[in-house]
Amino acid sequence: MTKQIRQLDRVVIRFAGDSGDGMQLTGDRFTSETAQLGNDISTLPNFPAEIRAPAGTLPGVSSFQVHFADYDILTPGDAPNVLVAMNPAALKANLADLPRGADIIVNTDEFTKRNLAKVGYQSSPLDDDSLAGYVVHPVALTSMTVRALAETKVSKKDAERAKNMFALGLLSWMYSRPYSSTLRFLERKFAKRPELVAANIAAFKAGWNFGETTDSFSVRYEVKPAKMLPGTYRNITGNAALSLGLVAAGVRSGLPVFLGAYPITPASDILHELSKHKRLGVVTMQAEDEIAAVGAALGASYGGSLGITTTSGPGVALKSETISLAVALELPLVIVDVQRAGPSTGLPTKTEQADLNIALYGRHGEAPVAVIAPKSPSDCFHAAIEAARIALTYRTPVILLSDNYVANGSEPWLLPDVESLPDLRVEFATEPNGENGAFLPYLRDPETLARPWAVPGTPGLEHRIGGLEKADKTGDISYDPANHDFMVRTRAARIETIPVPDVEVEDPDGDARVLVLGWGSTYGPIGAACRGLRQRGLPVAQAHLRHLSPMPANLGEVLRSYDRVVIPEMNLGQLAHVIRARYLVDAIGYNQVRGLPFTAAELETMLEEVLKNV
């Protein structure tokens, strides 16, 4: 059958089903196929918060959204053009996000009376007019998969579980995706069970062939590759990019990398990834708790390694005393906080910019640290290197504020030339630096205010460590009021005088009166909203902060040059409060704490109202 082929410039697809339906794997494989084709990509995995929610219920719905285009995109898309719903719960949980006219591919085998009742449907929405505004494609995914695998050596249960591969094959056909990488992936994933390799490949091909032969899908779609800078790209998640950035920091510094971590959502993937890189001098330790993890990392720094600990908000609270100790010891330490919705356990699989306050202020005493936030999945690589650079150069803890949206989302990443990365080599103290052969462990570099880093066991460089206040230069324990005042101010000055790049403003025509200021993962939605407004002839400026402590030296001047400053945040206004207090600018906060990222459309609507009132 000859099918019509239609060109599109962008598509947003959401795969949704039970957490056991393999939606994350399906979305990840579709994304990999799309990356291979050369489209620009942005993804949004959405995990259920309950570990074992009852099958077929709303709390158990897992989804994966992928946005791909033939041009530069900034977000995973506001609304899906296509929803693949594996059961009634997936349909009900996601229907409100669909625009009218969207395609819905439904697994009709799961629309049983029992499954409909679980989510409150009195009758099947496939049999009434409730879906009249959409293009519905009923497909018996489960039963067709079982029939396609009838000749294989798998059980009926395993055959039913392969329905996600049938769906992937169908969508790969619909959007003309290359699939050889998926077949190779299946061969690797199930290498120890050849019958599962054969079954999953057969299910995938059955889905592809169904699209090719059925009358239900008369159109195929093509999205041409995006124009991108020349080079080698790979699709990468934020956690993976951050991990590779830490590996690169170890290579560029010549130091062993030590990770002390306790598993916690959504940071655990960093531990998993770093554990694969022992040959590059990376040592990982899964500690018994968060306190032990950060203590081991600080001990590794004392011993001459690049000490790192990874966690989320609850873990930062537990680590705070040891981070304060690192401030007093003046040793390098990188603390990665992959933020999630709080407080307490909160929504552990959902995103939020919840921890800026605790990063800036959440320690006892005057204990300032440097704070950095990546803006996108691929930016996590460079943010990790920057965090290591500051920690090593200025002998300070650095908190790297990622979040669930950035950590689990993915996008194309241009592999950098290793030689172009910063030189992070460190000079350890090897000789006494005081009179008469004395070693002064708190004699500071006049430019960086950093103290010497002496590896334990270096002859003649014995010195005290501990949390009690140290005397200037000698490092002896000191209770002198004047010395304490001096040391507190010096540690604060060391952070405030770290040179960071000026904030850059995107204001193409230079006539904008409203500035939108963001940090972290709001970069994409803010950028897409501002792009949409400018295309409609509405001038608006955008600036984004990577360095949150210290802040760029020109930030105050930039803020005061606009009539209005708007700060969208996935919290109740944490950056806005800092900006108001520090720069006396009456910033307008736009805040949400829904566990989901902003959409570009809602920001565009909000900013249009602000522009009308300037």
In degrees and rounded to multiples of 5, residue 175 shows phi and psi of -110, 20
Residue 264 has pLDDT above 70, yes or no: yes
Domain ranges for the chain, please list them.
Answer: 4-223, 234-420, 427-499, 505-612
Three-class secondary structure assignment of 324-388: HHHHHHCCCEEEEEEECECCCCCECCCCCCCCHHHHHHCCCCCCCCEEECCCCCCHHHHHHHHHH
pLDDT tens column, 454-493: 999 999 999 989 999 999 999 999 999 999 999 999 999 9
3-class secondary structure, 411: strand
**Residue of 459, 460, 439 whose CA lies nearest to 451:** 439
Nearest C-alpha neighbor of 12 from the set 92, 76, 103: 76
Tell me whether strands 541-545 and 333-339 are parallel, antiparallel or unpaired: unpaired
Q: How far is it, in rounded angstroms, from Cα 120 to Cα 132?
A: 19
Say which residue the tokens 């565009």 belong to: 604
Residue 63 to residue 596: CA distance in whole angstroms = 13
Q: How many whole angstroms separate alpha carbon 355 and alpha carbon 202?
A: 46
Structure tokens at 356: 């800026």
Give the whole-angstrom CA distance, residue 10 versus residue 222.
9
pLDDT band at 1 (very low <50, low <70, confident <90, very high): low
Rounded Cα gap, residues 444 and 450, in angstroms: 5
Query: Which residues are 399's β-sheet partners?
Result: 335, 371
Q: Do domains 4-223 and 505-612 have the same CATH topology?
A: no
Q: Give CA–CA dist 567/499, Å, rounded.
A: 24
At 3, the pLDDT band (50, 70, 90 cuts) reads confident
358 contacts: CB under 8 Å, gap ≥ 6: 313, 316, 317, 320
Q: What is the pLDDT of residues 339-375, one digit of tens each?
A: 999 999 999 999 999 999 999 999 999 999 999 999 9
b/e 18-57 (16+ beta carbons within 10 angstroms → b): bbebbbbbbbbbbbbbbbbbbbbbbbbbbbbbeeebeebb
Q: Is 499 exposed, middle or buried (0-12, 13-18, 19+ CB in 10 A)?
A: exposed
Count of alpha carbons within 13 Å of 248, Cβ hemisphere only? 24
Q: Are strands 61-69 and 10-18 parallel, antiparallel or unpaired?
A: antiparallel
Superfamily of domain 4-223: Pyruvate-ferredoxin oxidoreductase, PFOR, domain III (3.40.920.10)
Q: What is the DSSP-derived secondary structure letter of residue 133?
A: T
Distances (CA, A) of 545 to 4, 450, 517: 47, 25, 8
Q: Do residues 13 and 82 touch, judged by C-beta distance below 8 A?
A: yes
Q: Which amino acid, residue 396?
A: T
Written as six digits, the tokens of 101 are 């006219």
Going by pLDDT thresholds of 50, 70 and 90, the confidence category of residue 331 is: very high
Q: Is the pLDDT of residue 22 over 90?
A: yes
Q: From the centroid of its chain, how far is CA 230? A: 25
Per the CB < 8 A criterion, the answer to whether 274 and 284 are in contact is yes
CA angle, 61 then 404 then 579, to 5°: 135
DSSP string, 284-329: EEE-SSHHHHHHHHHHHHHTTSEEEEEE-HHHHHHHHHHHHHHHHH
Domain 505-612 has CATH 3.90.1510.10: no
pLDDT in tens, 118-127: 999 999 999 9
Is 2's pLDDT higher than 80? no
Question: What's the DSSP call for residue 28?
Answer: H
> Which pLDDT does position 52 carry in this prediction?
80
Please enumerate in sequence order all residues whose Cβ is within 8 A of that of 43, keeping only pairs 6 or more positions apart, or say none.
Answer: 27, 31, 64, 65, 66, 67, 76, 409, 410, 411
Q: Are 207 and 165 in contact (CB under 8 A)?
A: yes
pLDDT at 144: 97
Q: CA-CA distance, 163 to 159, in Å (whole number)?
A: 7
**Structural fold of domain 234-420:** Rossmann fold (3.40.50)
Max intra-chain CA distance, the chain: 92
Beta-carbon-side half-sphere exposure of residue 440 (alpha carbons within 13 Å): 13
Closest-CA residue to 252 (of 382, 378, 401): 382
Residues 6+ apart with CB under 8 A from 344: 314
Instruction: Show Cβ contacts of residue 338 under 8 Å, excluding neighbours closer than 6 positions.
Output: 239, 266, 267, 270, 310, 311, 312, 402, 403, 404, 407
How many angstroms separate the Cα of 374 from the Cα of each of 244, 385, 422, 499? 14, 11, 17, 18
Q: In this predicted model, what pLDDT tens digit does every residue of 384-440 receive, in sequence order?
A: 999 999 999 999 999 999 999 999 999 999 999 999 999 999 999 999 999 999 999
Q: Measured between alpha carbons, how far is 11 from 76 in angstroms, rounded to an integer?
A: 10
The pLDDT score that the predictor gives to residue 273 is 98
- Looking at residue 477, what DSSP letter applies? B
Q: How far apart (Å, rounded) are the C-alpha atoms in residues 459 and 450?
A: 21
Length reported for the chain: 614
Query: Which of 512, 538, 530 lies closest to 603 in space, CA to CA?
Result: 530
First to last CA, the chain: 58
pTM assigned to the model: 0.95
pLDDT digits (tens, 9 = 90+) for 38-51: 999 999 999 998 87
C-alpha distances (whole Å) from 318 to each of 262, 340, 351, 355 are: 11, 15, 20, 13
Give the DSSP H or E segment for 86: none
